[in-house]
Amino acid sequence: LTTEQQQKIKDLLELAAIHADVGYLTAPTGSNALWAYQEILKIDPYSQPAMDGIVKIADTLEQQAWEAYEKNDKSTALKKVQEGLEAYPEHKGLLQLRDKLRASS
């Protein structure tokens, strides 16, 4: 990677962290943590910090989905599951909760 690319990745990682801190995980469009991580992966498809960030977003959304599920707020739970799966389609916890929500509806 060029020095310029490395700097761009560093800036995007900082931006992603800021977005995550304020709760902008997958929205608003073009100004959220997931978008920043995806931009990093366009520059460096093997960026471990970006991949870890995406997994962390999915983990956070899974946690939020379970909290909604436990309050019997299934529509919010499903919305969080869908957001999480957009970020990380193979996330086991999100897939299990999605199946559980489908079975109970």
State the Cα–Cα distance between residues 61 and 13, nearest whole angstrom. Answer: 19
**Using 50, 70 and 90 to split pLDDT, how confident is the model at 18?**
very high
Mean pLDDT, to the nearest integer, of 71-99?
A: 97
Tokens describing residue 62: 């899974």
pLDDT at 105 over 80: no
Q: What is the pLDDT of residues 30-83, one digit of tens each?
A: 999 999 999 999 999 999 999 999 999 999 999 999 999 999 999 999 999 999
Tokens describing residue 36: 């920043």
Q: Which of 57, 77, 58 is nearest to 67 (CA)?
A: 77
Is the peptide bond prior to 89 cis by the omega test (within 30 degrees of 0)? no
